[in-house]
Amino acid sequence: MRISTDERDDVLLRRAARGEEDAFTCLYKRHQAALYRYALRMTGSAWSAEEIVQEVFMTLIREPKKYNAERGAVGAFLFGITRNRVLKHLERRPREFSIEDASPNGSYYREPVDPVTPAVWAEQRERVAQIRDAVLSLPEEFREAVVLCELEELSYEEAARLSSCPIGTIRSRLHRGRALLLAKLELLRQTPRRATANG
Amino acid sequence: MNCDEFENLGLDLNQSGADAEQRAAALDHLRHCSHCAGLVESWEEARAELFLLGDATREAQTPLRVEMRLRQEFRAQRRPSVFYRRTALVAAWSLAVVTLVAGAWNWESWRHQQPKKPAITPVATNGTQQVAAPNDVLLADSDTSAFIPLPGTIPIESGDASVMQVRMQRGALSALGLPVDQEHVSDWIRVDLLVAEDGVPQAVRLHQATTQEGTSQ
């Protein structure tokens, strides 16, 4: 059966549960990127993010009835599963920094845009690597606040809803996360930089 | 506003949700406090780098292989239900066919067990069958020893008589001068009649089943 691109998520999920593969694919394509980005930014590993997204949608395939429309949208439901998986992953491997990897199809970190010269490009790359390290070294709850509010550019309300906590908590986590981030960046910059074009 | 109050607002005044008055106080504090001004400057710099990081991952997508794997899993998960549906369909059809065959067989058996129309099959007493009987049930026993002579008849030579198998109601026996149980006058029974050459019945013989019924009554 043909699937309309503007079909609602819950309708797609119902149809997928009835065995319509196209409905499932449509649902997957609609949500995979956001979930992957969140997982990637939280774990810093393309492989982990890939595994997490796969597990999330496997759950959807195996237990579509876990979704309860009264408790929120399908997107929020999927994000909730993703978040749980990410936290579990971080518990298992709290210090995984395989952040330089790139997936074979190049879907991971893009190179900085419009590098004026190789020197600028290298400088930018170095800075991105430093900030990535700093973000990944934050405690989970602060990292999540920074990822949601700074990288995903969500409002406090949205971040609070997705993190299932009050808005004041998000505000305070973000504040502390920023302070910690600044301190870590300060530390990172004090250590000798890797070779750049500027030397 | 002091440094603690400023920090409580957060480093980003735009995102802090501060009202106009708080913003004015915060900006005033920044003009006089080099520590907080330095913090804000550092944060602006860090924010630009965060933006770079965000930009570097903005287009990130799950690799295509994940979609392929998931679709494969989706098909595998759905396969059993299709299998069971087909099995159920086949089972239903098989059951229907078996029921139909059994029904037909039962009907055929029932039809064969139904009593035939009243038939008279003349059988020669000397043992040669004069008319081909449709089945064994209608064949009369040519032995004339068990015949009961009917009242008012003169015994004849058995060689001149014929045995006729007759299906009749029990009540008709009274017409031949035999006693009949009134409760069973409408029952159908099978009897052999010993008929003389002139066509008058001379003797009657009840079949075994009929005799047993008669004696039990």
Q: Please report, for chain A, the start and end positions of each structural domain, with discontinuous segments joined by +.
A: 9-92, 118-190
Chain B: give the shortest CA distance to residue A132, in Å.
Answer: 7
Cβ contacts of B74 on chain A, cutoff 8 Å: 16, 21, 24, 61
Measured CA angle at B164 (ends B162, B169), to 5 deg: 150
What are the boundaries of each domain within chain B?
A: 3-56, 64-114, 121-216
For residue A175, give the 3-state DSSP assignment: helix
**SS3 readout for chain B:** CCHHHHHHHCCCHHHHCCCHHHHHHHHHHHHHCHHHHHHHHHHHHHHHHHHHHHHHCCCCCCCHHHHHHHHHHHHHHHHHHHHHHHHHHHHHHHHHHHHHHHHHHHHHHHHHHCCCCCCCEEEECCCCECCCCCCHHHCCCCCCCCCEECCCCCCCCHHHCEEEEEEEEHHHHHHHCCCCCHHHCCCEEEEEEEECCCCCEEEEEECHHHHHHHHHC
Chain A: give the shortest CA distance to residue B72, in Å.
Answer: 10
Q: How many Cβ contacts (< 8 angstroms) between chains A and B?
A: 131
Q: pTM for this structure?
A: 0.58
The top-level CATH class assigned to A9-92 is mainly alpha
Topology (CATH level 3) of domain A118-190: Arc Repressor Mutant, subunit A (1.10.10)
Q: Which of A24, A107, A131 is opposite residue B61, by nearest beta carbon?
A: A107
Contact (Cβ atoms closer than 8 angstroms) between residue B197 and residue B188 = no
Cβ contacts of A50 on chain B, cutoff 8 Å: 62-63, 66
Q: Over its length of 217 residues, how does chain B's per-residue pLDDT go in tens digits? A: 788 877 777 677 666 667 788 888 888 888 888 888 888 888 888 888 888 888 888 888 899 999 999 999 998 887 666 677 788 889 999 999 999 999 999 988 888 877 655 545 554 444 434 444 444 444 445 566 678 888 777 776 656 778 888 888 888 888 877 778 888 888 888 888 888 888 888 888 887 655 544 444 4
Cβ contacts of A107 on chain B, cutoff 8 Å: 60-63
- CA B68 distance to own-chain centroid: 41
Contact (Cβ atoms closer than 8 angstroms) between residue B204 and residue B192 = yes
Cβ contacts of A24 on chain B, cutoff 8 Å: 70-71, 74
> A118-190: same fold as A9-92?
no
Name residue, tokens 């067990």: B113
